[in-house]
Amino acid sequence: MPVVRRSPGSPARAPQVGCVLRPRSALGDLPLLPPKRRTRSEGPPLSSPPKRSSDHEDRRSAASEQGATRADRIILFVGSRLLLRVTESGSRLPTPDETRSVIDLDGDGIPDIFVTVRHRAGVDIPAYGIDDGGLEPPEGFRLDGLRVAFHDLSEPDFRAAGTARQRVEWRRTHRFCSRCGAHNRLDPRQEAMVCVSCGQSHFPRVAPAVIVLVQRGPEALLGRSPHFKPGVYSTLAGFVEAGESLEECVHREIHEEVGVRITNLRYFGSQPHPFPNSLMIGFVADWLEGDIRIDRDEIEDARWFRADDLPALPHPMSIARALVDDFVARAGDA
């Protein structure tokens, strides 16, 4: 098998796609638990940005790079669509050989963005990004948005694909400095793009969002967005605003969306949410006062549900589902 020789951070060359890719027809994405959207602008630059510990590719050892080239699967994004090998039961990440049957990853056909991402302990896999020139995969392959792939991939595969998507997209959208417009280059010391003219560092952005299960005695508060599949209800979520603590965000979001006040806020856990670059921070809270009063700009329905009478729920891999499963388990213990 040919070896990927490109050193990370080397100048991008024009992607050359194998002839087996064809112009595509329209493919749709399915929405999945989007937290409340807010218009967000580029954050202000830090005058002295703190050093970030990162798994930035230039800091990776040669062994890691070699490990990535020996990986048993590859992540390839064509624009925002992920290359998948069709199987009898759905799809999976393609092997290196399968990927090379679709696109020339070596020589002159090297894609324009290459990163390595952690798949599981001690195992990194390579991820590539090429621009979407209206391409369509050959027989036996699919190009799907991550929200669609979510339903087929294992948790480690989805997690790695989500990480790859964020890092590839960050590289793709930070080729130029947002302060002065000059070119950025990859910082060899940390995961940052640095402007060749003004020196501004641009880091991958992570947008924190809270997600909360509110409990009132034996009932949990669940709502649904118009974007959800029919019948599906989930825990409430929203993006953290500038200058706001996570706790303040939870209180504000719950009151804005459904009009109730909460108390006894407890941290539950967190989950990266690559749609496109969120970190979901989960909480459990108790209802304090107020009747449900829905903000119809955000959600279309919200209700109290008992553990033995739940609606359709989000995907088992989501933190929203973990919050509901935890509520059900606690109800069973009561």
Shortest Cβ distance from residue 196 to Zn ion (Å)? 8
Q: Which residues of this chain interact with Zn ion, rule CB under 5 A?
A: 177, 179-180, 182, 195, 197-198, 200
Start-end of H helices in 188-276: 246-258
161 and 82 in contact (C-beta within 8 Å)? yes
Report the residue number, 116 or 200, with the smaller CB distance to Zn ion. 200
Provide CB contacts within 8 A for 138, sequence distance 6+: 20, 21, 22, 101, 102
- CA–CA dist 298, 302 (Å, integer): 11
In the complex with Zn ion, which residue's Cβ is closer, 85 or 174?
174
Give the nearer residue to Zn ion in terms of CB position, either 116 or 184: 184
Shortest distance, position 42 Cβ to Zn ion, whole Å: 12
Query: Closest separation between CB of residue 129 and Zn ion, Å?
Result: 23
- State how far the Cα of 34 lies from the Cα of 236, in Å rounded to an integer: 10
- Among residues 184 and 215, whose Cβ is nearest to Zn ion? 184
**67 burial type by CB count under 10 A (0-12 exposed, 13-18 middle, 19+ buried):** middle
Quick one: 1 or 196, whose CB is closer to Zn ion? Answer: 196
**Among residues 179 and 185, whose Cβ is nearest to Zn ion?**
179
Minimum CB distance to Zn ion, residue 180 (Å): 3
Helix (H, G, I), strand (E, B) or coil at 15: coil
CB of 197 to Zn ion, least distance (A): 5
For residue 276, what are the contacts with CB-CB under 8 A and spacing of at least 6?
165, 166, 169
Exposed/middle/buried for 115, CB within 10 Å: 0-12, 13-18, 19+?
Answer: buried
* Closest distance to Zn ion from the beta carbon of 201 (Å): 10
